[in-house]
Amino acid sequence: MANSTYPVSFYFSLSFNGEDTAFQEVSGFSKELGIEEVTSGGENRFKYRLPIPTGSQNLVLKRALNVEGSELIDWCLNSIDGSLSLAIAPRNVMLSLLDADGNVCVMWTFNNAYPVKYSISEFKSQENGLVIESIELAYTYFEIQNSESYSMFGNLFD
């Protein structure tokens, strides 16, 4: 019997290099098959639309500024500030969607990720908000792994 409980988007964990890191928002995990349009000589009614390799967006991580620093921030700043004089060390980043009991429902593994942008939110004297740091990671591809006890697709593909 398929699990009829749908997961919530606010209960997740992110793991980097074995270190669990807390983020308030994660976005940018999508895959898209590209299309190339090719015109054929003598055929004016249409263009051939051929598939090209899959593309993806950058993974964007947002959280309150951690003034104590972390291994993740050190890696980001060393990679970005190194101006390519040092080799960038890609890492795998794991994002887990959790159920109400804290068990993993679905895990996304972003392979060969490396930082491409680090930014801090604006400072506004008229607002009472947290300072947010954003990290953007480029990655080669991602894999999706469903938990044994939780199937996102139920019997759909059985």
pTM above 0.85, yes or no: no
pLDDT digits (tens, 9 = 90+) for 106-117: 999 999 999 999
Using alpha carbons, select from 58, 74, 78, 87 the residue that is nearest to residue 21.
Answer: 74
Query: What pLDDT score does 112 carry?
Result: 94
Length of the chain: 158
What's the CA gap between 120 and 63, in Å, rounded?
A: 10
